[in-house]
Structure 1
Amino acid sequence: MLEQNHLRVCSDLKLLNQVQDWFEDFCLQHSGQIPWSEGQLYRLNLALAEGFTNAVRHAHQALPRETAIDIDLLLWSDRIEIRIWDRGQPFNPDAIAEPKPGTLQEGGYGWFLLRRLADRVVYERAADGRNCLLIVKSDKNRQEVKT
């Protein structure tokens, strides 16, 4: 791992700009180590925004505003990882039916948006009782070729 950063915020949608600014600052500080284009980083920031708002609106909807959401950024030589930690009830995102083109559906779009913005998205329960949304963007040019 080359670099890592951590942010803890309350469960409040008003803090979304702070979360996104923190991500952008991290990317600027490490621009020499980050191989992704501005457009790719924009999409990753959008994935972060979607993950954060889902934690606030869904995972923490019945919890106090003061309930913390922890966010970790991990920069590796071949990928960047975003980990969003919530304290809500776990759920299985794979059980959400994918919206069919041309039809309307209430909810469920965020999970499919995340999958399209990142190379890997995983949501699972940790041993400490928190849930972790893992969002990974790989640098396919730096990945080892496996034979």
Structure 2
Amino acid sequence: MDIPIKTISDLHAEIIRLEKTKQQQEMDLKQRLNSPSSVFSAVKSLFPSSNSTPGSSIFNQDIVGLISRFVIPLTLNKTLFKGSGFLVKTLVGLVSQKASTYISEDSVTGIWDKAKGLVTDLLKKKDKPAKPNFSEPSATAL
């Protein structure tokens, strides 16, 4: 409220106003948090789930995303960072769990389909014999 305080009486009035505001906010909070379900919804509202990025919350992930949250850090810490210290393993765990939020069933199946298509194309090219080109006369025929 940016009321200029020039005298001691202005200061006392502002203190009284702030105390009344505090009491009103406390009563409002008590009314909002009077049941367990309201407490749970208030706690859940502290962690907003963004619908713009799929799998941004543990509640919104599919089974592949949930498994990757545990498998990726465990695998990295047991293989690549085997002899590392506690801090490095903790950082690897945090970064890999953050990265696993981008892994979903759709992304895994999309990558699998692309890899399958590449392998199928390579095998088709390998199986086809080279056709001779009869449109141009060869130098030995002349």
What's the TM-score once normalised by structure 1's chain length? 0.26
Give 1 or 2 for the bigger CA radius of gyration: 2
Q: Which has the higher contact order (CA 8 A, sep 6+)?
A: 1
Bigger strand share? 1
Bigger helix share? 2
